[in-house]
Amino acid sequence: MKKRYLCPAELTVGLIGSKWRIIVLWNLRKKTRNFNELRRLTPGISATNLSLALKHLQGLGLVEREETGAARGEVNYSMTSRGQSLDAVLKALVRWGIDNRPHYASGPFGMEALSRR
């Protein structure tokens, strides 16, 4: 049985709203990446948490996993067309964070590169 939501924003936040999921989606927006690249681009994430985030996003149909066969166990991740449909949402979240940082946070973001991509 599918969950019932009170509003569309609750659905969206419920699906992608974890810290790691949003960062993983952001890092896959423009480019297919392997696990190690994603790990380097996501400071502070453990291999376990990255794996869990990727599996969750795959289960939602937002990310796909492809075994490349280039090296033993090498896997690439990319966004599906449904995942790509979140591009404007992700950009809006980043823009809002940049614009409102002075009100809620001190110093630069830990992932300052987010604002430049």
* pLDDT tens-digit readout, 7-18: 999 999 999 988
Phi, psi of 34, rounded to the nearest 5 degrees: -95, 170
How far is CA 43 from its chain centroid? 13
Looking at beta carbons, which pairs linking 38-47 to residues 24 or more positions away fall under 8 Å?
A: 38/77, 42/111, 43/110, 43/111, 44/110, 45/20
Q: Which domain holds residue 77?
A: 8-116
Q: What's the CATH number where 98 sits?
A: 1.10.10.10
Q: Using the structure block, give the residue that is written with the tokens 């990319």.
A: 78
pTM comes to 0.84
In a domain, 2, yes or no: no
Collapse the DSSP code of 34 into the 3-class scheme (helix H, G, I; strand E, B; otherwise coil) and give the result. strand
Higher pLDDT, residue 117 or 34: 34
pLDDT in tens, 44-55: 999 999 999 999
Q: For the chain, what is the domain count? A: 1
Spatial distance between the Cα atoms of 66 and 78, rounded to a whole number of angstroms? 8
